[in-house]
Amino acid sequence: MGAATQPVPGASVWRRVRVSVAAAAFASGSGTNLQALLDAEAEGAHYTISLLVTDRPCGAEDRAATRGVSVRRIRFKDRPAEETGAEVLAAMTDSGVTLAVLAGFLRLIPEAVVHAFPRRILNVHPALLPAFGGEVMYGIRVHQAVLASGASLSGPTVHYVDERYDEGTILAQWPVPVHGDDSPESLADRVLEAEHRLFPASLDALARAIEAGGKPRFRWPGTDVSPFTWQSLTHAFEIES
């Protein structure tokens, strides 16, 4: 069996030098949420994605490499959590990150990592938690469950990560109306659009709070996401001392 950690070729196309709060991203898939985070960073967000951790070959690696983000592929499957956690912590320490985000990551974060970064790891979930969460609730399954329930609202939830799937303290939610003619795919598309706005704004708010020595507080802003970018969404957060 090969090494658990594999450097990913092509991960240094260009390097960024702007100083901000350094963050690690975790991803397992195509990386559209990662791309939204990177795009907001380029527009002036208060964070820098300086490390991507993946558990498999995925499109997110290509997105990170294009932007000069260091990529580390770490094996999570069929491996003791303690061993995986130690390797993840080493990668995060080497990169000097203060925050982390789960941008479509399908593995449970080891307890050692959660304990080392309390209230410093964010996840985005494509439904209004605490409903429709848990280990098997990811991808299209979430939207199928929402439609089957008859719910009139869905939308992304950004929450702090703890030792269990989707149970950390909720930081922000954005409601997306469910239409009578929605399919799981059409609902997923609209929720994803909201994710791409809310997730960067949430990470930006947490980074600003760390810079200010406080904590972010989200104010419920409404239901229409169409006019908003991450920049205009930052008004939805206040920084409390």
User: Active-site residues: which are they?
Assistant: 125
Say how far apart CA 133 and CA 123 lie, in whole Å: 12
Helix ranges (H only) for 45-169 are 59-66, 81-95, 111-116, 140-149
Q: Is the peptide bond before 130 cis (omega within 30 degrees of 0)?
A: yes
Say how far apart CA 37 and CA 31 lie, in whole Å: 10
CA torsion through residues 149, 151, 154, 157, sign: negative
Strand partners, 160: 122
Q: Assess contact for 189 and 126: CB atoms under 8 A.
A: no
- The CA R_g of the chain, rounded to the nearest whole Å, is 17
Say how far apart CA 168 and CA 179 lie, in whole Å: 29
The closest of 151, 181, 184, 171 to 240, measured between CA atoms, is 171
Q: Assess contact for 65 and 10: CB atoms under 8 A.
A: yes
